[in-house]
């Protein structure tokens, strides 16, 4: 599910690199001469966000991915079969593989061991020298490598099994403590990297077991035949072990993605074939959903923004389905062709390509730019899909039928959308009547608050800064768009009002450049109904306005739960735990136990209560809804940029977000029941 982080601007990232290359070696040889040096390590500790994206949990876990990627490069090269990740006490991480082992001989130009180059020089590795390098396939030239992990760790230890010996070298904040040395004999090969992240760099150094499992499950699906083991040793009395091994490759991945979906055909289309220098692996299965779920990868690196391989896939999909539909008479001469949107509704697909020299747009590798990848995917997938449709006529009938139904629904949705927008035009571009717009027309400072009901709307309208804050009250709960096509969605008045207020249009006509506000703030009550409305709105934004989330425009307001007053001193608190701490602090610890006991009893019915603890009167006001706050209180606590607390909605992992929305808002009851039972214990305060 989409996660939230404290509102802040995303860190800027850089993809600049420079430098020379190592001398040539014999083709296929992997030694110190294979290592190329592109630039130094000095900037990493000063500006870590440029290299790992952020210093929050995402950047922290990126350290693991960088080390694991090196091991998977060995797997993809056919040199390793197993990768073991150990989460050790005191936030140490160890990654071990049975590959060739990082070279330890002295580099001819740099005069230090190849291992030290890899660990201390940015963009130093066996991936920059073409046929003379150590790898034919890797994550590409934009990866920052294990050197960044070294720079951002208090300590790092490297054990290398190679050339009949075990080698060891230790580092402190990126600097070698001593030269590499042989510490014993060894009959095996492989690399073991162990590191401890620097708490002075990261907001937290606590690794999340589930995050590690989810990421490595994905990587294992993309590398058929590799065995991956995750061992959580942080609690000696409760060691957790999780392992993966998938022979089916990305076809197994598609089955996993559709585990909670109603599929249109049981067979998963799958092709894995080489086209010139590009290895193409694609799996496809259709569901009854109204949205598509397509995941793109290059050399096991996720590409959330797609790229040339996605373009080739879409072109081949639309052309092949149209050709088959006409050949079999599903489409008549008078009928128009199925559009790309028609052929993608309900589609679940994984596209994985292996490219010798990948070209990505930017540091994040979000989009692939290699033109040969498009040609390869279009040729391999197009030919294989046409054969599949001929050999599986029942599957073909289900798929084409789904596409034809989508085409009819899309035509209805287009008419409904045009009606909504035309109505606005006929009314002189009038905005919804309930929208209290801001006076400024500068979208870069504008804020739209989506509030629950007229009562909260009234307080918000009076308390806001009219210059740049707009208020849109919603009546009741909007439609669950997870179970509805666009035409039905546009018949919902509350959603229509929101679309017009945003100004971006929806579906085929969506234009983020027309967004009328920089911040879209969901501001609902802190109760079950408020949480439900918030989830419905997040579902709407995730399914139909996902680019608003990706570009950081969606926020969640954090109104206080309580107002605590002792004498003239009043404070707002946001959780029950914080309430108890504030009461203790404000009463200077006197009678704190009694205050906790008395204040907690019957809280469900409290609007305002006075309790007396050791002679100190404490006034506790519980806000059941935003409408209970007067305008000044709402401004001070929730809308004033100087004092408010907001969370910015992000999509850290689109696959997990997609799966969670399907569980929570989809038609299947069993997965939702299991999800609720699993996470019920995590709910600290449920207000019903």
Residue 29 lies in a domain: no
Instruction: For residues 545-563, give the mean pLDDT.
Output: 91
Give me the residues paired with residue 349 across strands. 284, 294
Is the same domain home to 543 and 510?
Answer: yes
- Alpha-carbon span 683 to 601, nearest angstrom: 19
Per-residue DSSP letter, 485:
-
Q: Does residue 350 fall inside a structural domain?
A: yes
- How many other C-beta atoms lie within 10 A of the C-beta of residue 187? 7
Answer yes or no: do 584 and 528 share one domain.
no
Are 157 and 280 contained in the same domain? no
Residues 482/539, Cβ–Cβ less than 8 Å: yes
The count of other CB atoms within 10 Å of the CB of residue 479 is 18
Active site residue 527: yes
Chain centre to alpha carbon of residue 66 = 17
Q: Do residues 237 and 254 both lie within one domain? A: no
Residue 530 has pLDDT above 90, yes or no: no
Question: What's the CATH number where 220 sits?
Answer: 3.30.565.10
> Can you tell me whether residue 402 is helix, strand or coil?
helix
**Angle between the N-to-C axes of helices 250-257 and 654-665, in degrees from 0 to 180, rounded to the nearest 10:** 40
Domain-located, residue 280: yes
Closest to 474 (Cα-Cα) out of 413, 424, 537: 537
**How many domains does the chain divide into?**
4
Annotated catalytic residue 529: yes
Closest CA to 570 of 557, 556, 582, 584: 582
Enter the DSSP assignment of 575: S
The two tokens of residue 47 are 């500006």
487 and 593 fall within a common domain:
no
C-alpha distances in Å from residue 217, one per residue of 59, 142, 232, 256, 656: 19, 23, 15, 10, 12
598 and 667 part of one domain = no
DSSP 3-state of 238: coil
Rounded Cα gap, residues 687 and 80, in angstroms = 52
- CB-based contact 285:263 (threshold 8 Å): yes
Tell me the C-alpha distance between 584 and 618, whole Å: 10
How far apart, in whole angstroms, are the C-alpha atoms of residue 254 and residue 659?
Answer: 12
At 657, is the pLDDT very low, low, confident or very high (cuts 50, 70, 90)? low
Domain end, chosen from 244, 276, 311, is at 244
Q: Which long-range contacts (CB under 8 A, 24 or more apart) does 175-183 make?
A: 175/120, 176/116, 176/119, 176/120, 179/113, 179/116, 180/104, 180/113, 180/115, 180/116
For range 629-652, the mean pLDDT: 89
How far apart are the C-alpha atoms of 393 and 14, rounded to whole Å?
Answer: 49
Residue 122 and residue 144 in contact, taking contact as beta carbons nearer than 8 Å: yes
Query: Which of 314-328, 443-457, 575-589 is the most confident on average?
Result: 314-328
Domain of 544 in residue numbering reads as 431-558+646-682
Quickly state the pLDDT bin for 683 (edges 50, 70, 90): very low
39 Rama class: left (phi>0) / alpha (psi -120 to 50) / beta: beta
- Residue 96 has φ and ψ, to the nearest 5°, of -130, 140
Contact 616, 604 (CB under 8 A): no
Catalytic site includes residue 525: yes
pLDDT surpasses 60 at 375: yes
Query: Is pLDDT at 134 greater than 80 in this prediction?
Result: no
For position 527, which CATH number holds?
A: 3.40.50.670
* Percent of the chain's residues with pLDDT above 90: 48
Flag whether 298 is in a domain.
yes
Q: How high is the mean pLDDT of the chain?
A: 83
Q: Is the separation of the CB atoms in 625 and 564 below 8 Å?
A: no
256 and 237, same domain (yes or no): no
- Compute the distance between CA of residue 452 and CA of residue 472 in angstroms, rounded to an integer: 9
Determine phi and psi for 448, rounding to 5 degrees.
Answer: -110, 120
pLDDT tier at 28 (50, 70, 90 boundaries)?
A: low
598 has catalytic annotation: no
pLDDT digits (tens, 9 = 90+) for 68-80: 988 988 988 889 9
- Is the dihedral angle over the CA atoms 178, 180, 184, 189 positive or is it negative? positive
Q: Between these two residues, 508 and 146, which has the higher pLDDT value?
A: 146
Selected catalytic residue, list 74, 289, 525, 662: 525
Q: Give tens-digit pLDDT for 583-622.
A: 888 887 555 444 443 444 333 333 556 766 557 888 888 8
| Same domain as 476, residue 525 | yes
CA distances from 641 to 3, 489, 574, 598, 602 (A): 22, 33, 17, 35, 34
Q: How confident is the model at residue 138 (pLDDT cuts 50, 70, 90)?
A: low
Does residue 240 share a domain with residue 270?
no
Whether 653 has a pLDDT exceeding 60, the answer reads no
Query: Looking at the structure, do residues 440 and 299 belong to the same domain, yes or no?
Result: no
What is the pTM for the complete model shown?
0.69
Q: Report the pLDDT averaged over residues 354-363.
A: 83
Whether residue 609 is contained in a domain is answered as yes
Domain boundary among 214, 244, 274: 244
Q: Of these residues, 452, 487, 655, 662, which one is catalytic?
A: 452
Which residues on neighbouring strands pair with residue 298, listed in sequence order? 301, 353
Of residues 255 and 599, the one with the higher pLDDT is: 255
Cα(423)–Cα(415) distance, integer angstroms: 12
- Determine the Cα–Cα distance for residues 546 and 48; give it in Å rounded to an integer: 28
- Residues 543 and 655 placed together within one structural domain of the fold: yes
CA dist 381 and 315 (Å) reads 10
Task: Check if the beta carbon of residue 625 is closer than 8 Å to that of residue 525.
Answer: yes
Residue 28 lies in a domain: no
Same domain for 397 and 538, yes or no, is no
> Closest Cα partner for 461 from 434, 497, 499?
434
Which one is catalytic: 341, 527, 576, 598? Answer: 527
Whether 542 maps to a domain, the answer reads yes
Nearest 10 degrees: CA dihedral of 134, 137, 143, 148?
-40
Domain boundary among 209, 244, 279: 244
3-state secondary structure of 428: coil
Q: How far apart are the first and last CA of the chain?
A: 23
Give the CATH number, domain containing residue 298. 3.30.230.10
> If phi over 0 gives left and psi between -120 and 50 gives alpha, with beta otherwise, what is residue 293?
beta
Q: Within a domain: residue 197?
A: yes
For 8-16, what is the mean pLDDT?
Answer: 35
Question: Which listed residue (305, 341, 529, 687) is catalytic?
Answer: 529
């Amino acid at each position: 599910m989409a996660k939230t982080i404290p509102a802040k601007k995303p860190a800027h990232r850089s993809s600049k690199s420079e430098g020379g290359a190592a001398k040539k070696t014999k083709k296929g040889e992997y030694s110190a001469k294979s290592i190329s040096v592109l630039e130094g390590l000095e900037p990493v500790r000063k500006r870590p966000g440029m290299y790992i994206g952020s210093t929050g949990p995402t950047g922290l876990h990126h350290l693991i991915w960088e080390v694991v990627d090196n091991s998977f490069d060995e797997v993809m090269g056919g040199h390793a079969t197993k990768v073991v990740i150990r989460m050790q006490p005191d936030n140490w991480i160890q990654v071990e593989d049975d590959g060739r082992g990082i070279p330890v001989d002295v580099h001819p130009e740099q005069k230090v061991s190849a291992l030290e180059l890899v660990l201390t020089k940015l963009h130093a590795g066996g991936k920059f020298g073409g046929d003379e390098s150590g790898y034919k396939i890797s994550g590409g030239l934009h990866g920052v490598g294990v050197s960044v992990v070294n720079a951002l760790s208090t300590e790092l230890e490297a054990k290398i099994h190679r050339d009949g010996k075990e080698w060891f070298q230790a580092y402190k904040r990126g600097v070698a403590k001593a030269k590499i040395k042989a510490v014993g004999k060894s009959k095996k090969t492989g690399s073991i990297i162990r590191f401890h992240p620097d708490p002075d760099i990261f907001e937290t150094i606590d690794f999340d077991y589930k995050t590690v499992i989810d990421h490595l499950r994905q990587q294992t699906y993309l590398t058929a035949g590799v065995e991956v083991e995750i061992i959580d040793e942080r609690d000696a009395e409760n060691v957790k072990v999780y392992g993966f091994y998938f022979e089916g490759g990305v076809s197994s991945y598609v089955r996993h993605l559709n585990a909670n979906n109603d599929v249109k055909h049981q067979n998963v289309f799958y092709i894995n074939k080489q086209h010139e220098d590009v290895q193409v692996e694609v799996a496809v299965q259709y569901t009854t959903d109204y949205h598509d779920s397509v995941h793109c990868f290059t050399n096991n690196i996720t590409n959330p923004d797609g790229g040339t391989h996605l373009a080739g896939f879409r072109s081949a999909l639309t052309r092949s389905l149209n050709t088959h539909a006409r050949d079999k008479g599903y489409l008549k001469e008078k009928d128009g062709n199925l559009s790309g949107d028609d052929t993608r509704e309900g589609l679940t697909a994984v596209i994985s390509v292996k490219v010798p020299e990948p070209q990505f747009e930017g540091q994040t590798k979000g989009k692939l730019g290699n033109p040969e990848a498009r040609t390869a995917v279009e040729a391999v997938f197009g030919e294989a899909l046409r054969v599949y449709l001929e050999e599986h006529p029942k599957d073909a009938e289900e798929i084409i039928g789904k596409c034809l139904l989508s085409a009819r629904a899309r035509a209805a949705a287009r008419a409904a959308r045009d009606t909504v927008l035309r109505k606005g035009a006929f009314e002189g571009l009038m905005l919804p009547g309930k929208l209290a717009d801001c006076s400024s027309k500068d979208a870069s400072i504008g804020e739209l608050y989506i509030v629950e009901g007229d009562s909260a709307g009234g307080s918000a309208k009076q308390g806001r800064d009219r210059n740049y804050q707009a208020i849109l009250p919603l009546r009741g709960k909007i439609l669950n768009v997870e179970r509805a096509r666009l035409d039905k969605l546009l018949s919902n008045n509350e959603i229509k009002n929101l679309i017009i207020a945003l100004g971006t249009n929806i579906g085929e006509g969506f234009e983020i450049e027309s967004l009328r506000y920089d911040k879209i703030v969901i501001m609902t009550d802190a109760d079950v109904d408020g949480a439900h409305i918030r989830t419905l709105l997040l579902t709407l934004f995730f399914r139909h306005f996902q680019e608003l989330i990706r570009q950081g425009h969606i926020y969640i307001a954090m109104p206080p739960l309580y107002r605590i007053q002792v004498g003239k001193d009043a404070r707002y608190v946001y959780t029950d735990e914080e309430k108890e701490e504030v009461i203790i602090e404000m009463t200077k610890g006197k009678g704190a136990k009694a205050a906790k006991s008395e204040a907690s009893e019957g809280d469900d019915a409290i609007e305002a209560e006075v309790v007396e603890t050791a002679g100190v009167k404490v006034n506790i006001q519980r806000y059941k809804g935003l409408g209970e706050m007067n305008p000044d209180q709402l401004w001070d606590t929730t809308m004033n940029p100087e004092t408010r607390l907001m969370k910015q909605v992000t999509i850290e992992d689109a696959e997990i977000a997609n799966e969670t929305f399907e569980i929570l808002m989809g038609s299947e009851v069993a997965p939702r029941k299991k999800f609720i039972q699993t996470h019920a214990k995590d709910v600290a305060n449920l207000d019903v």
